[in-house]
Amino acid sequence: MAELKQSPIAIGSDHAGYEYKNILIEWLQDRGYEVLDCGCYSSNSVDYPDIAKKVCQQINGGQASRGILICGTGIGISMAANKIRGIRAAHCTDCYSAKFTRLHNDANVICFGARVLGVGVVEELLEVFLTTEFEGGRHITRIEKLDQLCDSN
Ligand code: RB5
């Protein structure tokens, strides 16, 4: 996908996802993607909300087009990302979800659990996520309502 390759992909993980992050950075670079590495930068313990915030700031600030977040389960880091206005983070474990979260949700972040999925599966999911376009149409109103939820209790 030529257009996406012109803008960087932000990636971040906590300590549980650190090894996967390094593997995925190489995977992305091998395919011509520019990567913004938002940490962590060692296997020392860190808090996944801090990493989610850094990656999402790159997207909301326009420095990155999409984001990748990895923790042990993929759950905590996706919960954190989805607290941030403008972020639609999808925790994916299967290709159908990775495809439809782009088609219908215009997900701009994909989240993985390094302690749950093999790295080969993660790479397949990432390929689908990066090469599937948002369908638009009736889904636009729905994703606009996601941001409106940030204002409600
Ligand atoms: C870290 O031990 C672990 O709690 C974290 O990576 C993640 O799985 C949280 O959801």
Domain hosting residue 90, numbered range: 2-149
- Pocket residues for ligand 1 (CB within 6 Å)? 14, 16, 48, 71-73, 75-76
pLDDT value of position 52: 99
CATH number at residue 108: 3.40.1400.10
Name which residue sits closest to atom 5 of ligand 1, judged by CA. Answer: 72
The Å distance, Cα 140 to ligand 1 centre, comes to 32
- Reading phi first (left if > 0) and then psi (alpha if -120 to 50, else beta), residue 62 is in left
Name which residue sits closest to atom 10 of ligand 1, judged by CA. Answer: 76
The domain tally of the chain equals: 1
**94: number of Cβ within 10 Å:** 12
**62: number of Cβ within 10 Å:** 8
pLDDT value of position 2: 57
Show pLDDT as tens, one digit a residue, over the chain (153 residues): 556 887 899 999 999 999 999 999 999 999 999 999 999 999 999 999 999 999 999 999 999 999 999 999 999 999 999 999 999 999 999 999 999 999 999 999 999 999 999 999 999 999 999 999 999 999 999 999 998 998 887
The Å distance, Cα 47 to ligand 1 centre, comes to 8
Q: Which two tokens stand for residue 110?
A: 């994909």
**7: number of Cβ within 10 Å:** 14
| 92 catalytic per annotation | no
